[in-house]
Structure 1
Amino acid sequence: MSEDFYCDEVLSGNTVVKKVWETKNVLAYYHTRPYYEVHIVVIPKQHISSLLTLEETDSMLLLELLDVVKKVASQLVETHGACRVLTNLGSYQDSKHLHWHVYYGKKIKD
């Protein structure tokens, strides 16, 4: 896998995704290889490698990201009654691009 799947594939258009929500700076879409029944990824359109590398100047972007995460999560809770929100750090983070997983349901793949 690429170090940054989101820049190299999704944001470049090399991998077509089904969008859930989009703003000027944020994209939410259905995971291309879902691990759960409903699995949505929320990413900034600019490259930020991790939650830990956010700068003070990124505070407005972080608020916009969290607003989209909240909207997507609200949709899942309204539809399914629950959801989980997760971001990975360090060696748990496969793609070195800040992203959140918003998901519902049973795990369908390991």
Structure 2
Amino acid sequence: MEDCLFCKIIAGEIPSNKIYEDERVYAFTDIDPKAPVHILVIPKKHIKSILEVSEEDFEYLDAMVRAAQKIAETQKIAADGFRLVFNTGENGGQTVHHLHMHLLGGRYMEWPPG
């Protein structure tokens, strides 16, 4: 997608602090972290939001969750716990219209989140 911020990050056109990458997923630190560990996990395929995930896209969701498991281990937050979040639409707080999952950890996560 030509004007997509995250597509440009995947392509290397915009710099990022890469944490993880495989054939389906790219993960990098959030530029405005809300926790000591705040990493965005994104599919390399442009999918606008969780509402646009098709049956053929489930492999990307699987890859995102598997990447989060690996990242939680390498970031040393797996044992204490962490949060995975998909923001969807305006009221859900989605500001970049490329599917992405927030991995947050390194502190106690309050509930409700806000």
Alignment of 1:3-22 (within 5 A): 4-8=4-8, 10-22=9-21
Deviates more, 1:68-77 or 1:32-41: 68-77
Question: In the TM superposition, what is the alpha-carbon distance from 1:24 to its structure 2 partner?
Answer: 0.7
**1:46 has 2:37 as partner:** no
Which structure has more RCO (C-alpha within 8 Å, separation ≥ 6)?
A: 1
Report how many aligned residue pairs link the two structures: 103
1:97 corresponds in structure 2 to 98
More strand by share: 1
Counterpart-to-counterpart distance in 2, 1:89 and 1:29: 19
Q: What amino acid sits opposite 1:6 in the alignment?
A: F
Secondary structure, aligned partner of 1:21: strand
Q: What amino acid sits opposite 2:97 in the alignment?
A: K
Counterpart-to-counterpart distance in 1, 2:85 and 2:40: 10
Counterpart-to-counterpart distance in 1, 2:42 and 2:11: 13
Gaps of 5+ in 1: none
Any runs of at least 4 consecutive aligned residues in structure 1 with deviations exceeding 6 A, and if so which?
A: none
Let me know the Cα RMSD of the aligned residues. 2.2
Gaps of 5+ in 2: 110-114
Counterpart-to-counterpart distance in 2, 1:48 and 1:66: 16
TM-score for the superposition, normalised by structure 2: 0.77
